[in-house]
Amino acid sequence: MKAKDFDRKFDREVDITDDLDLSTARRPTQAPRRVNVDFPVWMIDSLDQEAARLGVTRQSIIKVWIAERLEKRAS
């Protein structure tokens, strides 16, 4: 597909995802990097309780809470 045809399709708000090769897509600022953080036992217990209540993993809740705080700080 030529770029002008792709642009036209996009501008008409037609779904273009079938025209994309998403296997090569990447988000450079989203690449994971491992960090180690030590938490007191009471904090881990609280995190686990909240994660279980929400049906998510401890890691997920930590990521969401940190992201929320960073977004709030940025605005």
In the DSSP assignment, the letter for residue 62 is H
The residue type of 24 is: T
* 46 in Cβ contact with 61 (< 8 Å): no
- CA dist 20 and 33 (Å) reads 27
* Spatial CB neighbours of 60, under 8 Å, sequence gap ≥ 6: 51
Q: What would the mean pLDDT of 16-37 be, rounded to a whole number?
A: 87
Tell me the two tokens of residue 68. 């929320």
Residue 32 has pLDDT above 90, yes or no: no
pLDDT of 33-55, one tens digit each?
899 999 999 999 999 999 999 99
Residue 25 pLDDT level (bands cut at 50, 70, 90)? confident
pTM above 0.85, yes or no: no
Residue 49 CA: distances (Å) to CA of 2, 61, 66: 53, 11, 18
- pLDDT for 33 equals 87
Residues found in the chain: 75
| Mean pLDDT over the full length of the chain | 92
